[in-house]
A and B are shown apart, each in its own frame.
Chain A
Amino acid sequence: MSTVAERAAARSDKTQLVHQPLWKTVLKRPEAGALGGAILVFIAFYIVAPPFRQVPAFTTVLYQSSTLGIPAVAVALLMIGGEFDLSAGVAVTTSSLVASMFATEVAGNIWVGVAFALVFSLAIGALNGFLLVRTRLHSFLVTLSTFLMLQGLNIAITKLVTGNVATEDISMMPGFASAHAVFASTINIAGINVSIAIFYWVLFVIAGTWILLRTKVGNWIFAVGGDADSARAVGVPVRAMKIFLFMVVGFSVWFIGMHMLFAYDTVQSGAGVGNELLYIAAAVVGGCLLTGGYGSAIGSALGAFIFGMTTEGVIYADWDADWFMFFVGAMLLIATVVNTWIRARASMGV
Chain B
Amino acid sequence: MSKLNRKALAVLAAGAAMVCASLVAPTTGQAADKSAKHYTFAMITHGQLGDTFWDIIRKGANEAARKDNVKLIYLAAPEASKQADLVTNVLQQHVDGIALTLAFPDAMRPVLKKAQDAGVPIVGFNAGSDDWKKLGLEMYVGQDEVIAGKAVGERLNKEGAKNVVCVDQQQGAVQLEERCDGIKQTFKGKYQILYVNGYDMASAQSRIQAKLQQDPSVDYVVTLGAPFAPTAVTAAQMSNSKAKVGTFDMSPRAVNLIKQGKIAFAVDQQPYVEGYEAIDLLWLNKTNGDVVGGGEPVLTGPAFVTKDNIDAVAEYAKRGTR
Say yes or no: A315-B199 contact (C-beta < 8 A), given A54-B213, A164-B55.
no
CA A67 to CA B204, docked complex, whole Å:
12
Residue A60 contacts which of B54, B201, B210, B234 (CB distance < 8 angstroms)? B210
- 20 A–B contacts, CB within 8 A, in A order: A57-B210, A60-B238, A60-B239, A64-B202, A67-B200, A193-B238, A260-B201, A263-B201, A264-B231, A265-B253, A271-B50, A272-B200, A308-B206, A315-B214, A316-B213, A318-B215, A321-B195, A322-B195, A324-B171, A324-B195
Contact (Cβ within 8 A) A63 B207: no
A237 at the interface (CB under 8 A from B): no
Contact (Cβ within 8 A) B256 A312: no
Contact (Cβ within 8 A) B202 A260: yes
B186 at the interface (CB under 8 A from A): no
A196 shortest CB reach to chain B, Å: 13
Contact (Cβ within 8 A) A270 B51: yes
Contact (Cβ within 8 A) A166 B227: yes
CA A273 to CA B201, docked complex, whole Å:
12
Contact (Cβ within 8 A) B200 A270: no
Contact (Cβ within 8 A) B200 A268: no
CA A265 to CA B203, docked complex, whole Å:
16
Contact (Cβ within 8 A) B199 A271: yes
**8 Å CB interface, A91-114 against B:** none
CA A67 to CA B50, docked complex, whole Å:
21
B284 at the interface (CB under 8 A from A): no
Residue A273 contacts which of B55, B199, B239, B253 (CB distance < 8 angstroms)? B199
Q: Chain A residues near B223 (CB, 8 Å)?
A: none
Contact (Cβ within 8 A) A158 B214: no
A155 at the interface (CB under 8 A from B): yes
Q: Chain B residues near A67 (CB, 8 Å)?
A: 200, 202-203
Judged by DSSP, the binding face of A is: helix
Residue A316 contacts which of B194, B201, B214 (CB distance < 8 angstroms)? B214
- Chain A 258-296: CB-based contact to B (< 8 A → 1; otherwise 0): 011001111011111111000000000000000000000
CA A63 to CA B49, docked complex, whole Å:
27
Contact (Cβ within 8 A) B51 A165: yes
**Residues of B bordering A, CB below 8 Å:** 48-52, 54-55, 171, 192-195, 197, 199-203, 205-207, 209-211, 213-215, 227, 230-231, 234, 237-240, 251-253, 256, 320
B134 shortest CB reach to chain A, Å: 24
A311 at the interface (CB under 8 A from B): yes
Residue B251 contacts which of A49, A60, A166, A186 (CB distance < 8 angstroms)? A166
Q: Chain A residues near B234 (CB, 8 Å)?
A: 263-264
- Chain A 299-339: CB-based contact to B (< 8 A → 1; otherwise 0): 00000000010011001101001101100000000000000
Residue B211 contacts which of A165, A264, A315 (CB distance < 8 angstroms)? A315
Say yes or no: A268-B207 contact (C-beta < 8 A), given A56-B240, A164-B320, A274-B200.
no
Judged by DSSP, the binding face of B is: helix
B55 shortest CB reach to chain A, Å: 4
Contact (Cβ within 8 A) B206 A60: yes
Contact (Cβ within 8 A) A268 B51: yes
Contact (Cβ within 8 A) A56 B231: no
Contact (Cβ within 8 A) A64 B213: no
Q: Chain B residues near A60 (CB, 8 Å)?
A: 206, 209-210, 213, 238-239
CA A163 to CA B52, docked complex, whole Å:
11
B54 shortest CB reach to chain A, Å: 8
A169 at the interface (CB under 8 A from B): yes
Q: Chain A residues near B253 (CB, 8 Å)?
A: 169, 265-266
B204 shortest CB reach to chain A, Å: 10
A143 at the interface (CB under 8 A from B): no
Contact (Cβ within 8 A) A312 B199: no
Task: Specify the chain B residue showing the minimal Cβ separation from A273.
Answer: B199
Q: Besides the contacts A60-B238, A63-B205, A270-B199, what 16 more A-B pairs have beta carbons closer than 8 Å?
A: A54-B213, A56-B240, A67-B200, A67-B202, A164-B55, A164-B320, A165-B51, A165-B52, A166-B55, A259-B202, A269-B50, A270-B48, A271-B50, A311-B207, A315-B207, A324-B171
Nearest 4 CB-CB pairings of A with B: A270-B50, A64-B206, A67-B202, A269-B50
Task: Specify the chain A residue showing the minimal Cβ separation from B78.
Answer: A270
Q: Chain B residues near A273 (CB, 8 Å)?
A: 199
Q: Chain B residues near A218 (CB, 8 Å)?
A: none
Contact (Cβ within 8 A) B227 A272: no
**8 Å CB interface, A149-197 against B:** 154-155, 158-159, 163-166, 168-169, 186, 191, 193, 195
CA A168 to CA B195, docked complex, whole Å:
26
- Chain A 20-64: CB-based contact to B (< 8 A → 1; otherwise 0): 000000000000000000000000000001010010110011011
- Chain A 237-263: CB-based contact to B (< 8 A → 1; otherwise 0): 000000000000000000000011001
A225 shortest CB reach to chain B, Å: 29
Contact (Cβ within 8 A) B203 A311: yes
Task: Specify the chain B residue showing the minimal Cβ separation from A271.
Answer: B199
A72 shortest CB reach to chain B, Å: 13
Q: Which of B54, B193, B202, B215 has the most CB of A within 10 A?
A: B202
Q: Chain B residues near A56 (CB, 8 Å)?
A: 213, 239-240
Q: Chain A residues near B209 (CB, 8 Å)?
A: 60, 63
CA A331 to CA B126, docked complex, whole Å:
37
Contact (Cβ within 8 A) A166 B213: no
Task: Specify the chain B residue showing the minimal Cβ separation from A197.
Answer: B202
